[in-house]
Chain A
């Protein structure tokens, strides 16, 4: 919060401050001594930023990094929220990310840096004479320096019906919310505009279940970035996915019914139903404010190389500006602009020289890259390569021995390399022949080693497109002590957004630190360079729905994984897409495939479920009968209060289960990475010390949680009083009843390394126990690594992390518990009964049987 100021302050000192920060007048720092004479603490300059978006906030970050004491910062934002990564709105729309995941500057950032954020209150005018801005609410804010970062406004084509309800643009979170609301009702969507934005909107809406038509004016999709061939491949792929793509479609009218859109009619008469129309035909720099304040504006707000406008006290940055005649609509130029701006504002002027941009389409499963100019023209020569089987199309354009453009479809691995060559303008005559085959080839094979390929990139080659981080910056970060992937991500943000540059960052770590990198998160297994966390995140982000797809998209180095990654992937997919993902039996450990525990002699043990450890004569009789009928050599009472029948052959399992099912018993999942048992004591029903009905509660907990798949086995216990006869404090989730309610404990473990639980919280009612239990399990299911018990998980992430995940937000428990219960609706079918009914029968039966005697006879 900025301290209140005397009303005349701005007037008194304004001029002097403005002069002082003028980037090109460096000799004027004398007045600062003048201030010291006042014998007051140096008063900071007031920097007001209009636009709480990507450029505005990045500029402030850059300034803070150079000189955090220089300015008192106030940021006005029209949107009622903190700054987020706008480019990630597409994954939010597609359901691959939540808003929380795309926040760039959280509330803490503003507080920690003493920045006043005025959100949801757009600035309506700038008074340059008094150096103040006025917001819609009437708030007046004086400035010494003003930064305009108002981004751009979506362009609305002036056709009849453009103001109907249901016509939306795609620019901010509110637009996404409108689309999501429409998508909930299903129906049809028409997207006008087949550029980057339009196609990402179409992809999202189509994933959300809408029938989508894209109407594009030009004959080729994304014609500014793609040539005809790539545009065609893209169109075909989108059509294959069920979208209708109309190229050469000129919108005549948006047709309404009762003030609500109902269709889009083209000039050629074709009409498409629409419950929502997304207008994504282009953007216009947001110049209204600047124009009415009398600042020089052409297409955008005109700035010099230091991002200063025609008024020396006013800077501008981002999509709203025009620099050397160019306006940009992508983030990469913003990073360079912001750096130059901060340098100038902090009196180390460097200067921005314009950007060459490249484009990637964020539609999962489609790899598309384009950079530079490929319109052909004099002296330009095309080199093209196609590989129809792999759906690959590559084209590079060479002019005067320099690379001037590149379009890649289907295989974009060399995108960064081409882009680097292009920006550098390097002479490529030496590698011309091999250019199209990519970096590995062109560099004579030596670069087949990915590290060497990265080493060959220049220092200002862009590594992370999402956050604008160059190779030099990553190396600097590593040299400054960030020696793991996580550390790099949290320090310079490289690979922290979409993760597609993770491999590059890892190579840089390896190159910079030599062999000693692996202090970072371990990779899942030798088949991949991704860690468990990466894989889980990417499954969501890229909407990966099957094991082969995950392996393809995440560049698995083996054809079908190994015995570590297959079960892990199977679990992660199962957890991510409950009810949709079809369990892959081949990726299950034998116990989970056969729903019984394999023993050292290859026979199996069978543990029927006994809810809360309770049983009755009927169950006991059925167990006794099974033991006799199948000649089971041993029956054992387990530590989890169950009976374990040993020595059953895989062929006999279905028959054993049929008999147990008949007595009302289901699988006890003693074999699974799943809920094992809920152990209880007799509690207040019988015990003279009991405070609550621990047995009844245990049964309820087991009814709620049985059948769920987890990262590892999961054990619960409920003790009726702190004497703790059910040993609840060495379970994954333990309940200890007390007079006033229930203590909930987590992360306990028996086994090799005994660990007592941590106290999670105390609650008053059984209903709360159930909710917290469900929520805790879901948090564990969603966050732990496969084969990580709750104890090591909690030791890795910390109890506070778990508590924060559950309790920081008042709704978290409810939301997590709801997700758990939803997923349970697909899990609580007894797997034994399914097998008894004949499912997967070949897992239990032999292929055939060979009787050698008859063979020999036959052979003779």
Chain B
């Protein structure tokens, strides 16, 4: 089963507590997060509220606060927290020997643009 996972680069490319973006031609851009505790998460880079770029939000614990209207989105589930309702697709991700991998089928599969 070669190639189920897509290598997207070394973990060093993301500073803990921040995110970087991964455009997917023809599909939604992905935001890849690294938390202060060195957990890694990948989500579609679109806030469920009004499509704010989540990659630009402030990351705290395993939550990102959307830069446009401050919704808090769980990095684990993609769900909006608190009173807000909505969910953004997450992309299964794993880290192995210092490299980050996304589940290939999820990168291109779920959301045809």
Q: Could you write out 17 A-B pairs with CB less than 8 Å apart? A: A559-B61, A563-B72, A567-B58, A586-B16, A589-B67, A590-B57, A590-B67, A593-B56, A594-B56, A845-B20, A846-B22, A847-B9, A847-B32, A849-B23, A851-B25, A852-B108, A855-B107
Contacts of B24 in A (CB 8 A): 849-850, 852
Complex Cα–Cα for A560 and B67 (A): 18
Contact, CB under 8 Å: B53 / A848: no
Contacts of B52 in A (CB 8 A): 602
Knowing that A847-B22, A850-B108 touch, tell me 7 more A-B residue pairs with CB under 8 angstroms: A560-B17, A586-B15, A590-B57, A602-B52, A846-B23, A858-B3, A859-B104
Contacts of B36 in A (CB 8 A): 559-560
| In the complex, the 6 A-B pairs of residues with the closest C-beta atoms, listed nearest first | A563-B65, A586-B17, A590-B56, A590-B67, A847-B20, A563-B58
Known A-B contacts A589-B67, A600-B50; A848 and B60 likewise in contact (beta carbons under 8 Å): no
B4: nearest residue on chain A (CB-CB)?
A: A859
| A562 at interface, CB cutoff 8 A | yes
Complex Cα–Cα for A691 and B76 (A): 63
Complex Cα–Cα for A560 and B36 (A): 8
Q: How far is the CB of A829 from chain B (nearest CB, A)?
A: 21
The digit string for B57-79, where 1 denotes a CB below 8 A from any CB of A, is 11111010101101010000000
| A772 at interface, CB cutoff 8 A | no
Complex Cα–Cα for A562 and B57 (A): 11
Q: How far is the CB of A16 from chain B (nearest CB, A)?
A: 72
Contact, CB under 8 Å: B67 / A598: yes
Q: How far is the CB of B92 from chain A (nearest CB, A)?
A: 15
Contacts of A587 in B (CB 8 A): 58
| A91 at interface, CB cutoff 8 A | no
Complex Cα–Cα for A842 and B18 (A): 10
Contacts of B59 in A (CB 8 A): 586
Contacts of B9 in A (CB 8 A): 847-848
Partner of B27, one of A562, A590, A593, A852: A852
Complex Cα–Cα for A650 and B23 (A): 13
Within 8 A of B (CB), among A644-691: 650
B112: nearest residue on chain A (CB-CB)?
A: A852
B64: nearest residue on chain A (CB-CB)?
A: A563
Contact, CB under 8 Å: B60 / A558: yes
Contact, CB under 8 Å: B25 / A562: no
| A566 at interface, CB cutoff 8 A | yes
The digit string for A585-614, where 1 denotes a CB below 8 A from any CB of B, is 111111101100010111000000000000
| A561 at interface, CB cutoff 8 A | yes
Known A-B contacts A589-B67, A850-B23, A850-B25; A563 and B57 likewise in contact (beta carbons under 8 Å): yes
Contact, CB under 8 Å: B26 / A852: yes
Partner of A855, one of B50, B65, B108: B108
A599: nearest residue on chain B (CB-CB)?
A: B68
Q: How far is the CB of B7 from chain A (nearest CB, A)?
A: 9
Contact, CB under 8 Å: B20 / A846: yes
Contact, CB under 8 Å: B68 / A600: yes
Contacts of A601 in B (CB 8 A): 51
Contacts of A849 in B (CB 8 A): 22-25
Contact, CB under 8 Å: B108 / A842: no
Contacts of B87 in A (CB 8 A): none
Contact, CB under 8 Å: A560 / B108: no
Partner of B21, one of A585, A847, A851: A847
Contact, CB under 8 Å: A562 / B60: yes
Contacts of A856 in B (CB 8 A): 108
Complex Cα–Cα for A756 and B20 (A): 43
Partner of A842, one of B8, B16, B20, B107: B20
Contacts of B32 in A (CB 8 A): 847
Contact, CB under 8 Å: B58 / A586: yes
Number of A-B contacts (CB under 8 A): 104
B107: nearest residue on chain A (CB-CB)?
A: A850
Contact, CB under 8 Å: A598 / B68: yes
Q: How far is the CB of A781 from chain B (nearest CB, A)?
A: 22
Q: How far is the CB of A550 from chain B (nearest CB, A)?
A: 14
Contact, CB under 8 Å: A842 / B15: yes
Complex Cα–Cα for A859 and B24 (A): 16
A601: nearest residue on chain B (CB-CB)?
A: B51
What is the interface of chain B, defined by CB distance below 8 A to chain A? Answer: 2-3, 6, 8-9, 13-18, 20-27, 30, 32, 36-37, 50-53, 56-61, 63, 65, 67-68, 70, 72, 104, 107-108
A859: nearest residue on chain B (CB-CB)?
A: B3
Contact, CB under 8 Å: A589 / B23: no
Complex Cα–Cα for A560 and B61 (A): 6
- Most central of B2, B8, B60 by chain A CB within 10 Å: B60
Contact, CB under 8 Å: B51 / A562: no
Complex Cα–Cα for A449 and B13 (A): 42
Contact, CB under 8 Å: A850 / B17: no
Q: How far is the CB of B30 from chain A (nearest CB, A)?
A: 8
Contacts of B26 in A (CB 8 A): 852
Contacts of A598 in B (CB 8 A): 53, 56, 67-68
Complex Cα–Cα for A598 and B22 (A): 19
Complex Cα–Cα for A567 and B16 (A): 16
Q: How far is the CB of B21 from chain A (nearest CB, A)?
A: 5
B23: nearest residue on chain A (CB-CB)?
A: A849
Contacts of B61 in A (CB 8 A): 558-560
Contacts of B15 in A (CB 8 A): 585-586, 842
Complex Cα–Cα for A231 and B15 (A): 39
Contact, CB under 8 Å: B25 / A852: yes
Known A-B contacts A848-B8, A858-B3; A562 and B23 likewise in contact (beta carbons under 8 Å): no
Complex Cα–Cα for A558 and B57 (A): 18
Q: How far is the CB of A546 from chain B (nearest CB, A)?
A: 13
Contacts of A561 in B (CB 8 A): 60
Complex Cα–Cα for A852 and B9 (A): 16
Contacts of A563 in B (CB 8 A): 57-58, 60, 65, 70, 72
Q: How far is the CB of A847 from chain B (nearest CB, A)?
A: 4
The digit string for A830-860, where 1 denotes a CB below 8 A from any CB of B, is 0000000000001001111111110110110
Q: How far is the CB of B27 from chain A (nearest CB, A)?
A: 7
A563: nearest residue on chain B (CB-CB)?
A: B65
- Most central of A560, A567, A842, A848 by chain B CB within 10 Å: A848
Contact, CB under 8 Å: B53 / A602: yes
Contact, CB under 8 Å: B58 / A602: no
Complex Cα–Cα for A849 and B9 (A): 11
Q: How far is the CB of B98 from chain A (nearest CB, A)?
A: 15
Known A-B contacts A586-B18, A847-B13; A560 and B50 likewise in contact (beta carbons under 8 Å): no
Complex Cα–Cα for A842 and B24 (A): 18
The digit string for A543-573, where 1 denotes a CB below 8 A from any CB of B, is 0000000000000001111110011000000
Contact, CB under 8 Å: A602 / B13: no
Contacts of B107 in A (CB 8 A): 850, 852, 855
Contact, CB under 8 Å: A855 / B57: no
Contacts of A562 in B (CB 8 A): 58, 60, 63, 65
Contacts of A600 in B (CB 8 A): 50, 68
Contacts of B56 in A (CB 8 A): 590, 593-594, 598, 602, 650
Q: How far is the CB of B108 from chain A (nearest CB, A)?
A: 4
Complex Cα–Cα for A650 and B67 (A): 14
Contacts of A853 in B (CB 8 A): 25
Q: How far is the CB of A599 from chain B (nearest CB, A)?
A: 9
Q: How far is the CB of A790 from chain B (nearest CB, A)?
A: 23
Complex Cα–Cα for A602 and B23 (A): 14
Within 8 A of B (CB), among A133-156: none
Contacts of A585 in B (CB 8 A): 15, 18
B27: nearest residue on chain A (CB-CB)?
A: A852
Complex Cα–Cα for A506 and B21 (A): 44
Complex Cα–Cα for A590 and B104 (A): 29
Q: How far is the CB of A132 from chain B (nearest CB, A)?
A: 68
Partner of A566, one of B20, B27, B50, B60: B60
B2: nearest residue on chain A (CB-CB)?
A: A859
A593: nearest residue on chain B (CB-CB)?
A: B56
Q: How far is the CB of A672 from chain B (nearest CB, A)?
A: 14
Complex Cα–Cα for A585 and B14 (A): 13
Complex Cα–Cα for A568 and B15 (A): 21
A856: nearest residue on chain B (CB-CB)?
A: B108
Q: How far is the CB of A63 from chain B (nearest CB, A)?
A: 53
Contacts of A602 in B (CB 8 A): 51-53, 56
